[in-house]
Amino acid sequence: MTTGDRALGRMLPVRAELAAILPGGGLRRGSTVAVRGSTALLLGLLSTATAAGSWAAVVGLPGLGLVAAAEAGVAVQRLALVPRPRRETAAVTAALLDGLDLVVLAGPDSLAPAQARKLEVRARHRGSVLLAFGAWPGADLQLSCVDIRWHGLADGHGQLTGSELLVEVGGRRAAGRPRREWLSLDGPGTPPVDEAVEFGGAGTGLAV
């Protein structure tokens, strides 16, 4: 994953805080990424790409609030929600992978192994990023929130002013060696330096 990959649109941008710990500094098109333990971490992965023009969808997460997504920097006008796909989870996810840049699938353990493999292949062929919100064995990249610390409370009282997540990054190939970093993902964050313009026209999302 090189500067050429980013220039050709093979990488989707993420917040600078996340870019610093991800292989290649972004989300590689055609990959499957498992995210565990934190909705804030999930929204952090969506925010910069959607702000740069990419389209995203979230499947099977009825508790996700658009206000929270907007506060995290997600461009909600380019975010499709399918809160309760019921028995059509695999079919709905596959259809979204055909036309959108990023597709979040919550509760991926409900899929049969054959369905999961088909979605991986679909994402790879379409150049989309499949974000599994939960366990996904064999994912190209795995991001887990393993701890959280809050700021603003003292001796059991006060007002929460922010938080930090301890994020573990692992996966295959370049992400094969797990590493952990404390990250602050409060607010919309900032795009990686010198990459906001580069990524701006790379998205292939469709208005739905």
Average pLDDT over residues 23-36: 95
- pLDDT tens-digit readout, 113-138: 999 999 999 999 999 999 999 999 99
- Cα–Cα distance measured from residue 33 to residue 55, given in angstroms and rounded to the nearest whole number: 17
Q: Which helix (H) or strand (E) holds 36?
A: strand 32-36
pTM of the model: 0.82
Please state, for a pLDDT cut of 70, what percent of the chain lies above it.
80
Q: Which domains does the chain have, with CATH numbers?
A: 3-144 (3.40.50.300)
- Cα–Cα distance measured from residue 82 to residue 185, given in angstroms and rounded to the nearest whole number: 25
Please state, for a pLDDT cut of 90, what percent of the chain lies above it.
69
